[in-house]
Amino acid sequence: MTDTTTTTQVTTPTGKTLADFRIPAKLTQNDPALIDLIMKSESMKDEERQYWFNLYEVMNTAQIDKLRDILTRERAKLAEIDAKYGKKPKIDPVEAAKKAEEMAQKRSAEQAALKAREAKIQAQEAEAEADILSELDGL
């Protein structure tokens, strides 16, 4: 991510923006992708993000690369977990109520149909029983 307009819109999982942190100008100019990785890391607290921003200017290239690698692997692993188990989509309360109402109506219709079938079977059994009794009376 090298576009500064996109970088300025990055937020942490807790909702903080770049304006909430003191980020060295050198980091902002040279490595906006690392800022993105730090800001979006789900394993860091906001205090840790500030710690890494503060530490950037005294870190050597190997240390920066190692930090980048760790954060990149974290993001990849989380994406892999999301793909495997899937995040449950957030359900709109209005949509959930609508579906619940539809299910209740369907269930009510099925119960009414079942009661009608039971009544029909009971009527047939009563008729058969009456027929058998009338035959017995005829003997």
Q: Which residues pair with 17 in a beta bridge?
A: 11
Check residue 11 and give its pLDDT.
85
Looking at the fold, whether 57 and 104 belong to one and the same domain comes out as no
Token pair listed for 86: 């899937």
**Domain match, 10 and 66 both:** yes
The per-residue pLDDT for 3 is 42
Q: Are residues 48 and 78 in the same domain?
A: yes
CA distance 133 to 102: 46
3-state secondary structure of 68: helix
Q: How many domains does the chain have?
A: 2
* Same domain, yes or no: 10 and 59: yes
**Do 62 and 122 lie in a common domain?**
no
Q: Is 94 found in the same domain as 81?
A: no
Quote the pLDDT of residue 5: 38
Q: What residue numbers bound the domain in which 111 lies?
A: 90-139
pLDDT per residue as tens, the chain (139 positions): 444 434 557 888 888 888 899 999 999 898 999 999 999 999 999 999 999 999 999 999 999 999 999 999 999 998 888 888 876 667 778 888 889 999 999 999 999 999 999 999 999 999 999 888 888 887 7
Same domain, 128 and 76: no
Residue pair 7/35 in contact by the 8 Å Cβ criterion: yes
The full 3-state SS of 89-116, as one line of letters, equals: CCCCHHHHHHHHHHHHHHHHHHHHHHHH
Shared-domain flag, residues 80 and 21:
yes
The CA–CA distances, whole Å, from 53 to 22, 25, 26, 58 equal 7, 10, 10, 10
